[in-house]
Amino acid sequence: MRLRTAITIGYIDSHPAIVATIITFMLASFATLILECQSRPEKLYELIEGDDGTYSTLYSPEERSNIFSKITYSWLTPLLEQGIRKPLEMEDIYEVTKDLRPNIVFGVFQQSWKNEQSSGNPSLFRATIKACGWKWACSIITRFIRDMLVLLHPVLLSRLIGFVMTYNTTKAEPIENGYFYAVAIFVII
């Protein structure tokens, strides 16, 4: 319902609690959007010890990127642009984020494996799920959605072609269907 319609029919006067809740939610969402668009403050430097005992100051920009940058992987753009200009070398590659460093991941997995061994029937699969289950779950869900959209694309294209072929005939579908197919294909791509 539009705000103008709600005011005209008096919905705001008869349901002030619902309207106040909606306005509060909208303001909180807008504040979250503004705050998430700000990048995290950059550390001046961080010495990272490598496997060979040397230190690196290349931190991963993923650590200070906002949620939109993480979803679209735009934090990776400078490295990709550098790779276009010249071949990348090991010195150009960012360090992995703190939560993905091998010693951290191994510690979490080792603790999970010890807990699994203390149970009567140890399973490496269960230990792995317990160690990094939520990351796997997120990956599986996004991969499933992507695969479904990839499978849906030819179906929508076929429907759009069928719509165009029958547009000026007596068996024509409503014009809204054509718009829906076109917009859906655009969104999926």
Q: Give the pLDDT score at 165.
A: 92
Half-sphere exposure for 171 (CA within 13 Å, toward CB): 5
Q: How confident is the model at residue 44, as a pLDDT?
A: 45
Q: Residue 46 and residue 57: Cα distance in Å, rounded?
A: 6
CA angle at 143 for the pair 138 and 146, rounded to the nearest 5°: 130
Q: Is residue 94 a contact partner of residue 78, using CB atoms and an 8 Å limit?
A: no
Beta bridge partner(s), residue 56: 48
Taking 3-state DSSP, the helix, strand and coil percentages for the chain, each rounded to the nearest 5, stand at 70, 0, 30
Q: What is the pLDDT of residue 189?
A: 80
| Segments in the chain below pLDDT 70 | 1-3, 39-58
Distance, in Å, from the CA atom of 115 to the CA atom of 107, rounded to the nearest integer, reads 12
The H-or-E segment that residue 84 falls in is: helix 77-85
pLDDT in tens, 9-42: 777 778 778 778 888 888 888 888 887 777 666 5
